[in-house]
Amino acid sequence: MRSTPSFGSAGVKILTTGCLTLVACAAVIAAQQQPARPATAGSKIVLLGTGTPAPTPDRSGPATAIVVNDTAYLVDFGPGVVRRASAAAAGGIAALQPTRLQRAFVTHLHSDHTVGYADLIFTPWTLGRRMPLEVYGPRGIAAMTSHLIEAYRVDIDTRTNADGNQRTFPDGHKVNAHEIGAAGVVYKDANVTVTAFATKHAMESYGYRFDTPDRSIVISGDTNPAQSTIDACRGCDVLIHEVHTEAWLAARPEAGGAPPGTFRRFSEKYHTTVPQLAELASQAKPRLLILYHYNSLTPDELQTEMMKHYAGHFVIGRDLDAY
């Protein structure tokens, strides 16, 4: 993991993962840049976590930040979300200072996308966040929120009693949980319009399209290939999508001694393979495809497989990359 964000460009065809120094990386990126629109001065996408349920140290749990006009919008809060945001802030993206994390959109309620929720609720508060968190997500997010608040009742009481360090700003741990209920525009302010679209996962799940002043950004969450994702993108600037290689799926041992084929059957219904993503992206036609929440035998294997199936621009996302 690098300690500072690197700033990508929508003109980069393939971001090679093997360069070891900043100079080498810059050379690799420069060599791979295609003629493209100038790098955007406005919105930034910061990959806070590109990981999976596997606790890989250099890939935090799924979390993505979209920063517009110095305001951060999070999508999902996997484990490590606040520490990655803090690292991005230290690297110069002030909107990701923990106390400024105030808006989040959840794709679905699987634990790998939400176990950073308590961290997001409470850590920024202890550091001085004074405003409630605004969270948007599928049905169930309100109950998850109230249960978490209740689970930390002793903490809240001691921080807000006569001795409590947070007693003068008790609202900083509160959450306004908005259950979006259906696809459509779920949020709008001066910076962004956020449109939810239904995806195909094991529970109620949504992807989100962010329309910012300079770019359209679509993020899939966990999903089987979905026409709704294609429709949400339709030539969008950036599509951020989950993926796994078929070789990884074939080699994956069943967790917990589950019967053979258990995960494969789940994955075939609810996740996306490289050939499926290539087909989807060839219809959706994003200017840049960012792979996240990916599984492969090695990074090289994922890159090789993608290049075999997909002729468009793509990058393999890494934690703290920014685009």
From the list 112, 119, 237, 319, the catalytic residue is 112
d(CA 47, CA 66): 9
Choose the binding region for Zn ion from 105-113, 131-139, 224-232, 250-258 (rule: CB under 5 A).
105-113
For this structure, is 112 an active site residue?
Answer: yes
Q: Which amino acid is at 312?
A: G
CA-nearest of 75, 88, 77, 80 to 60 is 80
Choose which of 112, 204, 305, 321 interacts with Zn ion (CB under 5 A).
112
Least distance from Zn ion to the Cβ atom of residue 318, Å = 17
d(CA 181, CA 258): 33
What is the CB neighbour count within 10 angstroms for residue 106? 26
Size of the site for Zn ion (CB under 5 A): 3
Q: How many CA atoms lie within 13 A of 228 on its CB side?
A: 20
Choose which of 59, 84, 110, 271 interacts with Zn ion (CB under 5 A).
110
Least distance from Zn ion to the Cβ atom of residue 108, Å = 6
Site for Zn ion in 5-64 (CB under 5 A): none
Q: Which amino acid is at 70?
A: D
Cα 126 to its chain centre, rounded Å, is 24
Choose the binding region for Zn ion from 110-118, 160-168, 282-290, 311-319 (rule: CB under 5 A).
110-118
Least distance from Zn ion to the Cβ atom of residue 138, Å = 12
Choose the binding region for Zn ion from 92-100, 215-223, 284-292, 294-302 (rule: CB under 5 A).
215-223
Applying CB under 5 A, does 119 fall inside the site for Zn ion? no
Applying CB under 5 A, does 76 fall inside the site for Zn ion? no
β-pairing verdict for 175-179 and 314-316: unpaired
Least distance from Zn ion to the Cβ atom of residue 39, Å = 30
∠148-121-206 over CA atoms, to 5°? 80
- Distance between first and last Cα of the chain: 17
Applying CB under 5 A, does 222 fall inside the site for Zn ion? yes
Which residues belong to the active site?
Answer: 112
The footprint of Zn ion (CB under 5 A) covers 110, 112, 222
